[in-house]
A and B are shown apart, each in its own frame.
Chain A
Amino acid sequence: DAGVIQSPRHEVTEMGQEVTLRCKPISGHNSLFWYRQTMMRGLELLIYFNNNVPIDDSGMPEDRFSAKMPNASFSTLKIQPSEPRDSAVYFCASSLERNTGELFFGEGSRLTVL
């Protein structure tokens, strides 16, 4: 298996632009997580899905952030409009079991908003 695949790896955009990050989880995993990582705050959970259904989105910063999982093999995280404080590395992870399973992370998408 290729592991969790994220795209793009790097994104530089101007404030106000829309950003879409993509994730393909490991086949057969039923839980998918979106995290944001910064030096100051470490890894923060934004939202996670179980069987394509959003379970907890309390970590989504504000209405500018939205996430979808239209099927078991694809998820998107969208920021519209983007702001400089959104600059961070965004990780997608998948797991066989949401409560106790090992998380398999993608390589991350580094976002810079100018």
Chain B
Amino acid sequence: QVQLQESGPGLVKPSGTLSLTCAVSGGSISSSNWWSWVRQPPGKGLEWIGEIYHSGSTNYNPSLKSRVTISVDKSKNQFSLKLSSVTAADTAVYYCARTHTYYYDSSGYPYLDYWGQGTLVTVSS
């Protein structure tokens, strides 16, 4: 059973950089999966931030791309998120998740199947 656990500061100052890490257990980060970050502002919906493959390849949400960096540390079986120039609008619960693609009959079915419990990050002075 794959488990993911987010960690990092719960409070970040405006204009600062939000940094979170997701530790993966019960499976290897070097498996054939991508690894995603998703956020949810209080009382609002889900927003996908981006994903990384163990090779270091990344895909980002175009609306956040200029401020986001996702990296991977295979030796620690974890991946990380950095979001720069944060404002109050970046206050949210941040989730890490596994992006899995199920292949059947020459078709791929991508989805987010394992999620961390989420961590609230508040941007405030």
Q: Check if A and B associate.
A: no
